[in-house]
Amino acid sequence: MRDPILQVAGHATVLARDDIDTDALFPAEFLKVTVKQGMAQYLFADWLAAGHPEAAFVRAPAATRVLVVPRNFGCGSSREHAVWALADYGIQAILALSFGDIFRNNCVKNGVVAAVVSAPDHHKAVAALQAAPAEAASITLDVAIGRATLPGGETIAFALAPGHAEQLLSGEDDITRTLRYGAELQAYEARVRAAQPWLERID
């Protein structure tokens, strides 16, 4: 269990590149690290070393809480480390035209809102952030109603994957959600033991 996520609000940064994969987010050389705390130091490590402008926000004075990205964000390998690093840095939500499927599922497991917006609304978000003063470049996402408020007050719609809003709002992890059906699981196990007792036989 974790705290329910009803709303995310904070400084937003635009990354203007499609197909940012998990290897860019968290280079393979650091995969031996398995403790989530401190993973932010490896976020975009190779891109920072190469001077990629998309990674510059990591070292910017204003801490980014919301990323606005184009298509296929988080594609590539299934490494959950990429989401761990983003969350450890402080990223709480990502607005995108589309996500890598596994990355999107890893986001909700770690309390990061992975929100899909239409192309026109993505354009509105980018334009509003680019026009806003740095101190006002923020976005607020209301998970319950699927609306994001842009700088200036305009709102746009976003969509979450099926079941993700419920999981974010409830604060439940996958195990807790499964245990909702504890009585049904125990009844199933009892039926299996009765029908196939040899499965539990210990010689």
Q: Give me 90's structure tokens.
A: 């402080």
Alpha-carbon gap, residue 151 to 136, rounded angstroms: 6
- Alpha-helical segments (H) within the chain: 22-25, 45-50, 81-89, 101-109, 119-131, 164-170, 174-179, 182-195
Q: For the stretch 50-76, what's the b/e string if a residue is b when 16 or more beta carbons lie within 10 angstroms of its beta carbon?
A: eeeebbebbeeeeebbbbbbbebbbbb
Phi–psi pair at 124, nearest 5 degrees = -60, -45
CATH class of 7-171: alpha beta
Residue 65 makes CB contacts below 8 A (sequence gap 6+) with: 8, 9, 10, 11, 12, 90, 91, 92, 93, 138
**Are 117 and 158 in contact, with CB atoms under 8 Å apart?**
yes
> pLDDT averaged over consecutive 10-residue blocks of the chain (203 residues)?
90 96 96 91 96 93 94 96 97 98 96 98 98 95 98 97 92 74 83 83 60
Q: What does the pLDDT read at residue 177?
A: 72
Q: Give me 67's structure tokens.
A: 């990323």
SS3 for 111?
coil
- Note the Cα 190 to chain centre separation in Å: 38
Residue 99 makes CB contacts below 8 A (sequence gap 6+) with: 72, 73, 74, 107, 114, 116
Cα distance between the two ends of the chain:
39
Q: What does the pLDDT read at residue 197?
A: 83
Q: Where are the domains of the chain?
A: 7-171
Output the pTM of the full model: 0.87
Q: What does the pLDDT read at residue 203?
A: 55
Residue 159 makes CB contacts below 8 A (sequence gap 6+) with: 115, 116, 117, 146
Q: How do residues 51-62 score in pLDDT, each as one tens digit?
A: 999 999 999 888
